[in-house]
Structure 1
Amino acid sequence: MGKLNLKPAIYVILIILILPSIIGDVTSYFGYHNKEDVRAKMKSHLYQKYGKEFMVDRIGTRSSRGQVFYQARIYPKAIIGSKKQWDDYYYASATVDKLSYGRLGEVGDSYSYVARNIDLEKYLLPQVKSQFGERVLLKVDVEHKVTGDGSWWAGYKSKSLKEMRKEVNNDPEHNRIELNLDVYVFDRIENQTEKEKRRKDIFEFVQYLKDEGFFEYLELGIIFVDERVLAPSYEDFKYEIKNTYQVKEEIDEKEVVLPPMKLRKEFSKKLQKEIDEMSQKELVEKINQIKKSNANNLIENNGQKATYIYSWGMIKEKYSSSIEDRDRNRDYSKLKHVRLGNNLKYIYKN
């Protein structure tokens, strides 16, 4: 009787044993899902969490520490067609892990930060308008920080002012609010009397923030922007300023580089005429068209005066290397603590 040839049987057994692994690797690589599966899962998660429909686009894959995941840009469907569309201030991201065998993990998102900023902006806006007038623009960046033992603080994804305040009130030792707030006031200051009034407005607003519990970790900018930036011909002016030659001038005993005086006077007069012909409603509508993500670009040549206020807690947290003795004593309990400085690159000539 001849010997049995066991090789074919062994091969079959080996194939049976390794086939699931091969199939798993293949399906893990190719997946049972496509971008529409990812989009659907993210949309479902966002609707359940925030109670509204979201747009999910720019879906792509990323990897971190060996884990591959999908990442997408997200924003509420409701902002389509509004001035908020294309403004990065209102956009966030969502991620979902790409698991083995074509499965998708749990969805995570960063829209809670956007929602929290919007919530606080709505809360602060009435007081800001009461203090500084209707022609204002707010840019809010608020963080809810948590800690274990106080040696480190990490961001927490609370999605509303109410939720954030509840956590802070229940456990202030392990929760805190850090607020970075910029207030753009579209109204230039004409004389010393107006300047003193605005200093008082700023002081009173800081006291309001103290009463509301937003001062302990606060970084506040109040920027007075020349309203001529709202004039219809401003974009033409901006283009000429950008492309013209610059000249040296001495302002407040400092040398700065500015566009030629003739051009500055010409456009200042022209833009002022246009502003005089606009109603308050038209000016406010123009402010509402400004993208918050680009608001800081208005300051360099259009900002007339500004103050930047830092609480002692924020200085220690973020700017400890630049602490000065005066910072320890400036708690903004007195009007004299509020300073309103000039922007040396302000280009308008009345």
Structure 2
Amino acid sequence: MGNKKKNSWLTGLIIALIIISLPPAFMYIKSLSDGTDVGKVRRKIKEHLYKEYGKEFVVDRIGIRSSRGQEFYQARIYPKSIIGTNKERDEYYYSTASVSKKSFDRLGGVGDGYSIVQMNIGSEEYLLPKTKEIFGKRVLLKTDVKYKKRESEDFFGWRLESNFEKMLNKTKNNPKDNRIELNLQVYIFNRIDDKKEKEKRRQQIFDFVQYLKDEGLFEYLELGVIFIDERVLAPSYDKFRSKIYRSDEVVVEVEGEEIYMPPMKLRREMSKVLQEELDKMSEKELLVSMRKINKEDLTYDGIREYNGQYQCWIYSIGILEEKYSSSITKKDRERTYDKISDVELIKYKKYIYIN
């Protein structure tokens, strides 16, 4: 009996890993029309999720998926607790679960990818207090965390774990056999007005990196610190955003490079109107507006392209060797971030606002 349970769990885990890692070209999905009771699949997934995470989940969009000739049931999952909140509209908090499909309409083991979501949420909760202490309250974090365990002399395998602090402690206590790969993006909704403030922000980034080092999170770190113009928090921003993406772009020369930008008249109008609205908002209103921004919008295409003012990207040599080994330079190897001169703040060329 024990072996059957173990095999069922392993089957579910393998399916979950296939779903996460397999390119879409190798998979297809179809509606559940093979005679299996949809409710039966939903109940099995719900029971698994409650046992695994101790909370109720919504299980919907159930279908049959195929990978390399093997079919399994797959569903979208998300916690009931996010219904009615901003998170309900944010794919960052959603995941999938799968059930292996056996003959005679029997169901096999369940696997799910929600541990990835849980791990990312846990890392954000852990890092956010210190992030706010260093950069101020107008910050949003976006994380992608992978915990890996040594499986041989030269190979670390990715483990689907959900408890960030527990895995961090394992890494601290035994870094030889455990590692955390952290992709962390810090979005700061406060533009930099002058050189003095720019130097202050560089110092803050340096201090933040030292904190990550102390926490054992620097060895495999990919860090982006992005300064977003706070005018995105003004009430009319969405209206102007729509105008921008419908406008005919014009060629503008920035630092000797020709780039496409919205017309200057629209940029001036947007900058002026949004600043006037911003001046009438309290800090509390700004924070409320900021927290409405979805995690899935914290991307270059989502919010950075025109609203990003400055950016700083920091890569440890460990993550460079792991993910970008073919592009490592001599400067990369020399840069240890033990001195503030290693921290570079670069201005976005497509920054749209006219101050």
TM-score by structure 2 length?
0.87
Task: Report the counterpart of residue 289 of structure 1 in structure 2.
Answer: 292
Task: Report the counterpart of residue 230 of structure 2 in structure 1.
Answer: 227
> Are 1:251 and 2:254 matched, yes or no?
yes
Deviation at 1:164, TM superposition (A): 1.2
Counterpart of 2:105 (choices 90, 102, 107) is 102
Structure 2 residue matching 1:250: 3-state secondary structure? strand
* Contact 2:147-2:161 at 8 Å conserved across structures: yes
Counterpart of 2:61 (choices 48, 58, 62) is 58
Q: Residues 1-350 of structure 1 correspond to what in structure 2 (within 5 A)?
A: 33-169=36-172, 171-296=174-299, 297-350=302-355
Q: Distance in 1 between matches of 2:114 and 2:105?
A: 26
* Contact 1:31-1:103 at 8 Å conserved across structures: no
* Contact 1:32-1:101 at 8 Å conserved across structures: no
Q: Distance in 1 between matches of 2:285 and 2:33?
A: 55
* Contact 2:188-2:228 at 8 Å conserved across structures: yes
CA RMSD of aligned residues (A): 1.6
163-172 vs 34-43, greater mean Cα deviation: 163-172
How many residues are paired up? 322
**Cα distance change, pair 266–338 in 1 and its aligned pair in 2 (3 A):** same
* Contact 2:221-2:318 at 8 Å conserved across structures: yes
- Alignment-mate amino acid for residue 282 of structure 2: S
TM-score by structure 1 length?
0.89
Structure 2 residue matching 1:203: 3-state secondary structure? helix
Structure 2 residue matching 1:270: 3-state secondary structure? helix
Instruction: Report sequence identity in percent.
Output: 54
Q: Distance in 1 between matches of 2:47 and 2:238?
A: 42
Task: Report the counterpart of residue 22 of structure 1 in structure 2.
Answer: none
* Contact 1:30-1:102 at 8 Å conserved across structures: no
Deviation at 1:162, TM superposition (A): 2.7
Give 1 or 2 for the bigger CA radius of gyration. 1
* Contact 1:31-1:101 at 8 Å conserved across structures: no
213-222 vs 91-100, greater mean Cα deviation: 91-100
Deviation at 1:249, TM superposition (A): 2.0
291-300 vs 57-66, greater mean Cα deviation: 57-66
Q: Distance in 2 between matches of 1:249 and 1:91?
A: 40
* Contact 1:150-1:174 at 8 Å conserved across structures: no
Structure 1 residue matching 2:185: 3-state secondary structure? strand
Q: Distance in 1 between matches of 2:81 and 2:339?
A: 44
* Contact 2:99-2:107 at 8 Å conserved across structures: yes
Q: Deviations over 1:250-271 (max 9, x none)?
A: 2222222212222211110110
Q: Deviations over 1:296-328 (max 9, x none)?
A: 110000000010100000111111111111000
Deviation at 1:166, TM superposition (A): 4.0
Structure 1 residue matching 2:87: 3-state secondary structure? coil
Structure 1 residue matching 2:349: 3-state secondary structure? coil
